A = this chain, B = another copy of it.
Amino acid sequence: MAQEERVMEHPLFTNLARQAALNGNEVHAIDQVPFRILSIPKGHDLVREGDDANSCIVVIRGLLATTKVNELARRQISAFHIAGDMPDLMNLHLDVRDNDLRALSGSEVARLDHKAMLNLCATQPKIAMLLWRRTLTDASIITEWLLNIASRPALNRLSHLFCEMLTRLEAAGLADGSSCPLPLTQTDLSEASGMSNVHVNRSLQELRAQKLITFEKGFLTVLDWDTLASLAGFDPSYLHLKQQRLRTRRGRTSAALN
């Protein structure tokens, strides 16, 4: 079903095999789910509030965000989605979606057939459980964002965001040591962190001045992970990553305690 010239693995498989071993039966069931590859240009909305919740997406490449605008026309980003994420899995069982899905950079996604997905869940309890589990870690991240936005001042808040993104991108194999691509504008950051773009700008300058990070041209480099993570109060356990060693490898935060 893949419309690409190269033979590609089923996107769902790439996604789930990272979490647990699947038997032949399950792999076969996954292969039966039809999908299409879509390219979304930067700034475009893939799904809109009010749309029927009939899509199911796996990010192949790029950076997307779940956004929602409130009655005062202020836009809020409630989640970032990187390669491997399933941005609207949350809407699999809900009738109408109440948020938008926007590409923050040029992105490529696989759109899985909605009915086939529901059928897959109904017939393969283990896969359903894995997908469920994914939605739960997504929810865990949103809860952490709530804590972050509600309880930390600007500098710490931004730091936390950077710590999270570097950790997630590293876990997805997209980071290079302490650097990673992060194609966000300062306005994007402001919409994700609940602060004004002006204040984001000044906080970034402060982070740079303290030699904690570099952030330019959509590229983030963490210069001093320990200080940044402790400023942010960052504890990656809420990400529920399989490979906790990633954290210890870079995480002198905990190593320093020994």
Contacts and interface: CB of A to CB of B under 8 A. Distances in A.
Contacts of A70: 147, 151-152, 233
Interface string A109-147: 000000000000111011011001101111110110111
Given A121-B125, A139-B135, A233-B70, A147 B76 contact: yes
Nearest to A126: B122
Interface stretch (A3-11, A88-96, A218-226): A88-96
Q: What is the count of identical protomers in the complex?
A: 2
Given A72-B233, A138-B139, A93 B129 contact: yes
A149 interface: yes
Given A76-B151, A78-B147, A194-B151, A129 B135 contact: no
A137 B90 CA distance: 9
Contacts of A139: 90, 135, 138-139, 142
Contacts of A13: none
A90 B238 CA distance: 12
Interface residues of A, number: 48
A74 B237 CA distance: 19
B238 A98 contact: yes
B93 A237 contact: no
A240 interface: yes
A150 interface: yes
Nearest to A143: B78
B78 A132 contact: no
Given A74-B151, A135-B132, A140 B94 contact: yes
A48 to B, nearest CB: 14
A152 to B, nearest CB: 7
25 contacts: A66-B143, A70-B152, A71-B233, A72-B152, A72-B233, A76-B146, A76-B150, A78-B146, A78-B147, A90-B139, A92-B136, A93-B133, A94-B136, A95-B240, A98-B237, A98-B238, A121-B129, A122-B125, A125-B125, A132-B135, A138-B139, A142-B146, A146-B149, A149-B149, A150-B194
